Structure 1
Amino acid sequence: MRVIDRFHPQRCRELQAALDAGLALLRGEVSLLEPPQLYLLTLLSFLLLLIGLVGFSALALLALAWRTLPGWSAGSIDVLRLLIWLAISSAVYLALLPLHELLHGLVFRFWGGQPYYGMRLPVALYCGARNQLFRRNHYLLVGLAPCLILSLLLVLLMFCWPITAPYLVLAGAGHLSGCAGDLLAIFLLLRYPSHLCIEDTELGFRVWEIFPHHLDLNSTVQAN
């Protein structure tokens, strides 16, 4: 196991030394894909989908308020245009999936970690960081970054290029729903003190407390 903290090397070395000496205690472990968290995850995903549909629809209407797009006036949408809308919306959503995981990986790397990527069929992509411990607040940003950045990007696209707005509603809502796992993990992690370290796992995370001051006490005792 390796402690990751690019911007506080001295603190990182102290934590690593204590970890190597066995001065660490597992404070908690969460699996988001097993009960009871799985039930919360499913409910949150559904709620976020509804919120996303309402929110992105409202933003799209606001972006289009000053511009009429050909083919989108009332009563003029035919089956072909609807199919085109569904196809483009689905393509945008699928494009967001790798971008979401890439942003996780970039923030892992920003803190000094080494991420890995994978895929579970049919379209479940994932990013993780094996055998690495991150400060709690650093790990929170890893989880929050894709939801925040991609949602803001979609909103900016709607208002900068209103012609794209109808195609971003379904994609934005679907992506927000897919952020349920990240947001649930953030909510659960906020219950823990900020000095703890987080280990990313395939199903969730583990919370560790490392005791570097105990290492100093042991060294003092041995010296005496």
Structure 2
Amino acid sequence: MERKLLEEINLLENRKLIINLNLVAILIVFVLTVLGVVFSGGFEISNGFTGIFWLLLGYFLSLVIHEAVHGIFFKAFCPSGKVKFGFKSGMAYATSPGSFYTKSQFFIISIAPFVVLTGLFIFLRSLGVNEAVVYLIFALHTSGCVGDFYYCILLINKPTGILVEDTEKGINFYSEG
């Protein structure tokens, strides 16, 4: 069967899209931080610089884990695909260029890091890890998932039966036939 290109999404080089996604990310981190303060009665990062160090280290580790989860799911759904990791236009990314996925597979690839890391943050909090540090890393990570959420919204609005090609710049949507 021949594939017909329906749409190309260039996430890494579309300046207007990057700006809009970054504005949404800022809004997400702001809203989550305000909600965290309101519903917790206020929290603080204890231990001064040590707390800030753990916040920054935790956020960096969440980025690494986030992209690794994408990579694991890319390989799970397309074992022959090659996974690449990088950083461009202010965004860390994982990609499997030239690999094709079903709509549901790519939805899972896109949302998996948010689900996995949210579960990890809940687990860390249950172990007694500092509430403020864990919650702020959660807020920062969630805002960083904005590109993944964008892909999920696009996928929800696509018809069943499409194929998604991962590219080094974004994704392409194809119909078969």
TM-score (structure 2 length as normaliser): 0.85
Q: Supply the RMSD in Å over aligned alpha carbons.
A: 2.6
Partner of 2:20: 40
**Shift in CA distance, 165/115, structure 1 to aligned 2, threshold 3 Å:** farther
Report how far residue 144 of structure 1 moved: 0.2
Partner of 2:96: 129
Report how far residue 147 of structure 1 moved: 0.8
What pairs with 1:4-153 in structure 2 (closer than 5 Å)? 18=1, 23-33=2-12, 34-57=14-37, 61=40, 81-113=47-79, 114-120=81-87, 124-153=91-120
- Please list the CA deviations of residues 120-164 of structure 1 after superposition, one character each: whole Å capped at 9, or x if unmatched: 379853211111110011101100000111012202321x12243
Q: Confirm or deny: 8 A CA contact 1:118 1:126 kept in the other structure.
A: yes
- Aligned equivalents of 1:183 and 1:141: distance in 2? 11
Give, as a single letter, the amino acid of the residue that structure 2 aligns with 1:100: H
**Shift in CA distance, 191/176, structure 1 to aligned 2, threshold 3 Å:** same
Give, as a single letter, the amino acid of the residue that structure 2 aligns with 1:186: C
Runs of 5+ consecutive residues of structure 2 not aligned to the other structure: none
- Aligned equivalents of 2:17 and 2:156: distance in 1? 16
Among all aligned residue pairs of Structure 1 and Structure 2, give the percentage whose two residues are the same amino acid: 21
Runs of 5+ consecutive residues of structure 1 not aligned to the other structure: 1-17, 65-71, 212-224
Secondary structure of the residue aligned to 2:130 is: helix
Bigger Rg, structure 1 or 2: 1
**Shift in CA distance, 58/105, structure 1 to aligned 2, threshold 3 Å:** farther
Match of 2:160 among 182, 194, 210: 194
Report how far residue 169 of structure 1 moved: 2.2
After the TM superposition, which parts of structure 1 deviate over 6 Å for at least 4 consecutive aligned residues? none
What is the total number of aligned residue pairs between the two structures? 174
